[in-house]
A and B are shown apart, each in its own frame.
Chain A
Amino acid sequence: MSVSGWIQLILFSIILLALTKPMGLYLVQVLDADGKTWLDPALKPVERLIYRISGIDPAQEQDWKGYAVSVLIFSLVTLLLTYVVLRLQYFLPLNPQSFSGVGKDLSFNTAASFTTNTNWQNYTGESTMSYLSQMVALASHNFFSAAGGIAVAAALVRGIARDKAATLGNFWCDLTRTCLYLLLPICLVFAVFLVSQGMIQNFSPYQSAKVMEPYTTQIPKKDASGYEVKDAQGKTVMEEVKVETQTIPQGPVASQVAIKMLGTNGGGFFNANAAHPFENPTPLSNFIQMLSIFLIPAGLTYYLGRLVRHQKHGWSVWAAMFLLFLIGVLICWGAESYGNPRLTTLGVDQSSGNMEGKEVRFGIFNSALFATVTTDASCGAVNAMHDSFTPLGGLVPMFNIHLGEVIFGGVGAGLFGMLVFVVLAIFLAGLMVGRTPEYLGKKIESFDIQVAALAILVPIVFMLGFTALAASTEWGVAALGNSGPHGFSEMLYAFTSCFGNNGSAFAGLSGNTPWYNLTLGLMMLIGRFLLIVPVLALAGSLGAKKTVPESAGSFPVSGVTFTLLLIGTVLIVGALTFFPAISLGPIVEHFLMMNSTKLF
């Protein structure tokens, strides 16, 4: 664990802390229909025009049911539009490579993926998607899905903050203002910064270059539909090819990467994602990209404190998130620095840690920090291959998602996920001391606990259920790149990542098969919308309650006790739910690595 790593970690933490308040204050204005920002002179006319064209009355607020229906209808329509664009991309403009239409099942999977802010990619961007598909079908979702998550978080915070209120705000107004005043301006500046670092932004056709040393290699054979051909035993059929030229992809990368990181979307323009030099050119671009993932989620904790008029509560939630982040990054960094002793016995130098699957430009610490940040949040961008991490190093990103990605989390989704845990923690504290649980003056009653439990437990049942289904079927096992516990980890990680709307992968799994496209696509939809609906029901229930003044008997929702209780609740729920599954994967693989000669 290097000195430079410690310095970067401290710098990262200090800058994140420093940015939390300004971002939170800005969010207060953006998420208020009458809020004032310094961009009003330029953007207010645009906002009014959007309302006029789409018939939105921003002053007309919605109850939780209206808000939820709006979220669902908007998501359904944009998902179907994305599906159509992907299917028809061959006939649409901005396709200099003349890519054919995307397959049916892959189009469904991709449309579900980007609608849900997951950005799981069962395709290689540079060899599948036209520029139009990247920009219109995919990048637009990066804005909409991020804004949708922030809107739902704002609705929940309003529910907590308001007294006997029937409404939670206007979804269409929240969506419009978040895109216009928050995401677009920051992304514009961010994209220009990324271009300054060497990131490309063009519409040029792909370039071709002769390689210095031609070589022969084996690649999976594909049929006319683009699927890998399997033999009678279910193994991938390989074919030999001689490589003499290299294709250098081009495209509007910077504009897509800016929102990909800021909106915690994570879908790479290139298959190698943030490990590709065009997608992450310098150490500075790497550092700023990591910070941008946490920027809005951290600011939302300040927004929470400001709206409920209890700023210490917002900071306590921030502290709980930060401590969980710190634990994760230290474990991951330590495991990757230690390396793989089995490789040492094979004569591979492990003195600088486990460098397999890592970009040499970034090294151990920046790979571990990136992996932790991207899975604390529901980003899913990667600058190293998680599949090549040591078992414990790979366990950290997987377990971060198991915890619900509430450690700063996805934009909006992290906060509303954490607030569900807050309600649960207060309920448990109430049980322990024998008092009616009360959150910021709102009594927590049976319906609130019901929907909180539904938000936490129902999607988990689907996630573990689908993993079990894949593990026990031929199509599930055939897609694995590894056997044994590591193969199980690949499968568990895939369903975990899709359920958590993360999108990162243990890339050994070949997910582009009809069954995986279907099941992972459904998993993403379930993980997003079967969580949002009960969260909005909770918001509606809390908003309708009368706020009673805090008394000496009220459970304090700030300070060390509350922070530790919140951390404990998150860890216990995650550990109790997922320990059996992770025991079969990374934990058993770790002990096999340490005590046997078997490698997976």
Chain B
Amino acid sequence: MDVVWMAITLIFFGVCLAYVGFLAKEGKTWKT
């Protein structure tokens, strides 16, 4: 079941990377 804990970690960091993308998009929206 080590895979489960590693998967939780990967999912969390995936969410963080998506958050970067979201804020980058938001930044462009508000600049224009």
Question: Would B5 and A108 count as touching, CB distance under 8 A?
Answer: yes
**A72 CB-CB contact with B under 8 Å:** yes
Contact with B along A434-454 (1 / 0, CB 8 A): 000000000001110011001
In the complex, chain A residues 97-134 whose Cβ is within 8 Å of any chain B Cβ: 104-105, 107-108, 111-112
- Distance between Cα atoms of A83 and B9 in the complex (Å): 10
5 contacts between A and B (CB under 8 A): A69-B17, A108-B5, A451-B23, A529-B12, A540-B27
* Given known A-B contacts A540-B27, A541-B27, A65 and B9 have beta carbons under 8 A apart: no
In the complex, chain B residues 1-32 whose Cβ is within 8 Å of any chain A Cβ: 1-2, 4-6, 8-10, 12-13, 16-17, 19-20, 23-24, 26-27, 30-31
Specify the main secondary structure of chain B where it touches its partner: helix
Which residue from A108, A445, A450, A537 sits with its C-beta under 8 Å from B8? A108
Which B positions have Cβ atoms within 8 angstroms of A?
1-2, 4-6, 8-10, 12-13, 16-17, 19-20, 23-24, 26-27, 30-31
**A534 CB-CB contact with B under 8 Å:** yes
Which A positions have Cβ atoms within 8 angstroms of B?
65, 68-69, 72, 75-76, 79-80, 83, 87, 104-105, 107-108, 111-112, 445-447, 450-451, 454, 518, 522, 525, 529-530, 533-534, 537, 540-541
> Which B residues are in CB contact (< 8 Å) with A533?
16, 19-20, 23
> Which B residues are in CB contact (< 8 Å) with A529?
12-13, 16
Closest 9 CB pairs of A and B: A447-B30, A108-B5, A537-B23, A76-B13, A529-B16, A68-B20, A533-B19, A72-B16, A525-B12
- Distance between Cα atoms of A105 and B4 in the complex (Å): 10
> Which A residues are in CB contact (< 8 Å) with B8?
108, 518, 522
- Distance between Cα atoms of A80 and B24 in the complex (Å): 27
Which residue from B13, B16, B20, B26 sits with its C-beta under 8 Å from A447? B26
4 more A-B contacts (CB under 8 A) besides A87-B2, A451-B23?
A65-B24, A76-B9, A79-B9, A518-B8
Question: Would B10 and A83 count as touching, CB distance under 8 A?
Answer: no
- Distance between Cα atoms of A80 and B13 in the complex (Å): 12
> Which B residues are in CB contact (< 8 Å) with A540?
27
Shortest Cβ distance from residue A82 to the other chain B in the assembled complex, whole angstroms: 10
- The residue in B9, B17, B26 that gathers the most chain A C-beta atoms within 10 A of its C-beta is B9
Which residue from A446, A454, A534 sits with its C-beta under 8 Å from B30? A446
Question: Would B23 and A108 count as touching, CB distance under 8 A?
Answer: no
- The residue in B10, B13, B20, B26 that gathers the most chain A C-beta atoms within 10 A of its C-beta is B20
- Distance between Cα atoms of A104 and B6 in the complex (Å): 10
Which chain A residue has the least Cβ–Cβ distance from B19?
A533
- Distance between Cα atoms of A202 and B20 in the complex (Å): 44
